[in-house]
Amino acid sequence: MSSPDLRAELCGISLANPLVNGSGTLDALAAGTLGLGAFVTKTVTLHPREGNPPVRIAETPAGMVNSIGLANPGLDAFCADHLPRLGDLGVPVVASVGGWSPSEYATAVARIGAHPAVAAIELNVSCPNVESGCISIGTDAGETRALVERCRAETDVPVLAKLSPSVSDVAAIATAAAEGGAHGLVLINTVRGIAIDRDRLEPLLGGGGGGLSGPAIKPVALHAIFHARAATGLPIIGMGGVASAQDCIEFLAAGATLVGIGTSLFADPGLPERALPELGGLMRRHGVEAIGDLTGIAHPQVSSSTRA
């Protein structure tokens, strides 16, 4: 058997390997791309945001709760200072966009999507750490459909919808995004969580609640990916607790086309470069020659009955 082919493709974008970062978990301009096949930016909003007051992160069993609050330089500075340099990273760039209204998203998508450095746009409709907008769109099927439809009309690059697991039926939201014309899905964003200060017995994080990430949420992520894939057939960047090559292969089997690493990059920035050869070894063991052949193999051939 020839050596396994790690090259991946998402919505017509070619990647050297199927690993990417989760939005907001890597500053590639400061830290480089760590061997990832593509880079996803931190979510950009129309206006600059300082982010939430500290404390912003709390460690929890097998993970962490964060309340960063979409700290970002805003659309103007992002387009002027960041985008030109992102083109030099040497990997496809997915720009993540957030907002408080469909017109804010549309404005950002039109400007960012027109930049040659951008291969695709992620619509973040799932950030748990801002008071309105964003997740309040992504928890409503009708609003999600309308937002994706509007943003698609603003750009020629593929539009991906990043969804929250903190909804009653993630497959229904995924279906709405597909109906709106999403080229692909990104899931999951963090799971809504809260941490209580052990001494003061008050919410620990400056933003009150937060988003849970890390290995603790892996089964939640696999469930959401499995059912979003079954419901839509769309390509998915799957993420949520990925910490090893074995995790990557499980996410691909559940229906992911690419696999995102987030919290584990914080604890272990060497993970992608270590996991890639291991992933090749796992492909060999499973008799798979191309990474794309793994996507969705956990799904039964007749996929009618397994909605949980």
Partner 1 sequence: MPPPTRSLEVAGVEAVGAYTLLRLRDAGADHGAPGQFFMLRAEPAPADAYLPRAVSAAWAGDGEIAFLLDVRGPGTRALAAARTVSVLGPLGHGFDLAPGPSILVGGGIGAAVLPWLRRQLAPLGEVRTVLGFRSDAQAVCAGLVDPGATVVLDPVLVTEPLARLLPAEATVYACGPDRMLEAVAALCAEHDVPCQLAMEAAMACGFGACYGCAVRIDGTWKRLCIEGPVVEAARVLA
- Which active-site residues does the annotation give? 127
DSSP-derived letter for residue 125 is: -
- Which listed residue (1, 3, 61, 199) binds partner 1 by CB under 8 A? 61
Minimum distance of partner 1 from residue 7's CB (angstroms): 23
Minimum distance of partner 1 from residue 5's CB (angstroms): 26
Chain Cα centroid distance, residue 207: 22
Minimum distance of partner 1 from residue 112's CB (angstroms): 20
Question: Would you count residue 50 as binding partner 1 (CB under 8 A)?
Answer: yes
Question: Would you count residue 57 as binding partner 1 (CB under 8 A)?
Answer: yes
- Which listed residue (11, 16, 34, 172) binds partner 1 by CB under 8 A? 34
Tokens 């992504």 — which residue? 138
**Is the CB of 61 or the CB of 90 nearer to partner 1?**
61
**H or E stretch at 134:** none
d(CA 308, CA 292): 26
Minimum distance of partner 1 from residue 204's CB (angstroms): 10
**3-class DSSP state of 143:** helix
Entry field: residues in the chain:
308
d(CA 91, CA 32): 11
**Is the CB of 215 or the CB of 280 nearer to partner 1?**
215
Which residues in the 242-281 window bind partner 1 by CB under 8 A?
263, 265-270
**H or E stretch at 65:** strand 63-66
* Number of chain residues interacting with partner 1 (CB under 8 A): 35
Query: CA angle, 262 as apex, 261 and 265 as ends, to 5°?
Result: 85
Which residues in the 173-232 window bind partner 1 by CB under 8 A?
214-215
d(CA 42, CA 307): 32
**Is the CB of 201 or the CB of 308 nearer to partner 1?**
201
**Is the CB of 27 or the CB of 131 nearer to partner 1?**
27
The strand pairing partners of 4, in sequence order, are none
Query: CA angle, 114 as apex, 71 and 35 as ends, to 5°?
Result: 60
**Is the CB of 31 or the CB of 110 nearer to partner 1?**
31
The residue ranges that bind partner 1 (CB under 8 A) are 24-27, 30-32, 34, 42, 50-59, 61-64, 66, 68, 71, 214-215, 263, 265-270
